[in-house]
Amino acid sequence: KQFLLSSDREKRAKLIDKVLEREEFVDYWTYRWSDLFLLSGERLRPKALDAFSGWIRKQVEQNTAWDEFARKVILATGNSYENGAVNFYALHQDPLDTAETVSMAFMGMAINCARCHDHPLEKWTNNDYYGMANLFSRVRAKGWGGDFRNGDGNRDVYVVERGELIQPRLGEPQPPRPLQGEPVSFESTEDRREHLVDWLVAEDNPYFSKAITNRVWANFLGVGIVENVDDLRLTNPPSNQALFEALALYLEEQDYDLKSLMRLILNSETYQRSSHFVAGNESDKRFYSHYYPRRLKAEVLLDAVSQVLEAPTKFDGYEEGTRALELRDVNVSSYFLDAFGRPERLATCECERSDEPSMVQVLHLVNGDTLNQKLAQNKNLLGHIQEQNLADAEIVDSAYLRAFSRFPTSQERIQILEVLSETLPAERRQVLEDLYWSLLSSREFLFQH
């Protein structure tokens, strides 16, 4: 209400600043980076999972610069309980898997095609691949081997001074080197990962800043400047090269402060555009002539329903009131989250998550347990409304503000007030449930637009 009724010309920029400091912001980006780094109870024991999740959350809370974030993950050593980032190597115990995930997470490039042969769509060769993977060949850990969930998850990761990864095609190791970087001598006893990180975050690396810039942009606009975000290659050019270069340079000038990049995007005219198209741009899906509507992410949607109705979801093994975005493990049982596209976190790829609407989702909203049970709870928002005996006009305004962050139009208000005025006291609760059901199952609520 304060925002809608304010005449302050800076109110939007001020609200963005407030949102960037909220706990929900930390929850959301902790969850997003947990997707990226594959946090899952399928592969990590509970204490190790908590340590990694807590470590990521701390980085988001502190707004750790992205180059420092990368350095801490890639160079992680020590105990998996004490240094949560160490669990990155519990999840990636093979140098090949490690190289592929580092390339995807921090450079937006899939190099796995070069594992067996030269990449068919990119310049990376089989030699490049094994040179990159050999940078991780000396990483060791106590407690590795067998099942991911072997033992209690208490591992110690360290680096040895000898050891090479054999390239099957040649029967010998490739000189350890980053993609396009200089090789490290076989005789060197330094931690080869240091050489990789220095190359990765260097100003002349054409991939690092662009990859994270593209991820952040796609998060807010729905479509990456390079699409897909995990496919940065020469044969997949950006839709706007000048914009891409400018944003990546801005992030570098801000010392990889992701909040600064987010603030810039959120305050832009591009982000503020309506989803209504005009003659000539109806079919545009790449150049941001209008905002592209998309369904809310599964976890965001479930939390939004819970917040509007003041009816928290109960998750097994978590305290009452825990929101979906606070879950550390994607294996927590939830039909709603599965139906609405929650990723399994088996591969570092945005393709794991689905934001596409489906008939299963429609049927669950219409007849499923999640929304209907939340509406029927005795002590939810609707119960409070009945206890307070609010005026009909206040009920209608509150419903629209809660669900849509706007007041109802004159026509909407008149229609609903007419229904409420004709409702018998015994039917009032059912009518309120129907009102909120109609709002929470609408496209305006389900979609960003």
pLDDT score for 319: 93
Q: How many other β-carbons are positioned within 10 Å of the β-carbon of residue 166?
A: 13
For the purposes of burial, counting CB atoms within 10 Å of the CB of 345, is it exposed (0-12), middle (13-18) or buried (19 or more)? buried
Q: What is the pLDDT of residues 276-313, one digit of tens each?
A: 999 999 999 999 999 999 999 999 999 999 999 999 99
Share of the chain above pLDDT 90, in %: 87
370-397: average pLDDT: 94
Beta bridge partners of 158: 140
pLDDT score for 147: 66
Give yes or no for a cis peptide into 228 (omega within 30° of 0): yes
Q: What is the pLDDT of residues 309-325, one digit of tens each?
A: 999 999 999 999 999 99
**Quick one: tokens of 203?**
């100003």
Q: For residue 448, what are the contacts with CB-CB under 8 A and spacing of at least 6?
A: 222, 291, 293, 294, 295, 296
Q: What is the pLDDT of residues 324-343, one digit of tens each?
A: 999 999 999 999 999 999 99
Q: What is the 3-state secondary structure (H, E, C) of 281-320?
A: CCCCCCCCCCCCCEECCHHHHHHHHHHHHCCCCCCCCCCC
pLDDT score for 144: 65
227-236: average pLDDT: 90
150 vs 157, higher pLDDT: 157
Q: Which residue, among 449, 447, 448, has the nearest Cα to 365 in the 3D structure?
A: 447
pLDDT score for 356: 81
Evaluate if pTM is beyond 0.85: yes
155-174: average pLDDT: 95
Residue 149 binned pLDDT confidence (cut-offs 50, 70, 90): low
381-400: average pLDDT: 94
Residue 234 reports pLDDT greater than 90: no
DSSP per-residue string spanning 348-365: S-GGGS-----HHHHHHH
Cα–Cα distance for residue pair 444/329, rounded to 1 Å? 29
Cα–Cα distance for residue pair 78/268, rounded to 1 Å? 43
DSSP per-residue string spanning 331-346: TS--HHHHHTT----S
Evaluate whether 417 touches 393 at the Cβ level (below 8 Å): yes
Query: Rounded mean pLDDT of the chain?
Result: 94
Evaluate whether 355 touches 341 at the Cβ level (below 8 Å): yes
Strand ranges inside 221-301, DSSP E: 294-295
Share of the chain above pLDDT 70, in %: 98
Place of tokens 């987010």: 262
Q: What is the pLDDT of residues 57-111, one digit of tens each?
A: 999 999 999 999 999 999 999 999 999 999 999 999 999 999 999 999 999 999 9
436-444: average pLDDT: 97
Cα–Cα distance for residue pair 92/101, rounded to 1 Å? 8
Q: Which residue, among 221, 303, 204, has the nearest Cα to 262 in the 3D structure?
A: 221
Place of tokens 């609520």: 445
Using the Cα atoms of residue 114, residue 117, residue 123 and residue 125 in order, give the sign of their dihedral: positive
Residue 181 binned pLDDT confidence (cut-offs 50, 70, 90): very high
Q: What is the pLDDT of residues 100-121, one digit of tens each?
A: 999 999 999 999 888 888 767 6
The amino acid at residue 368 is: G
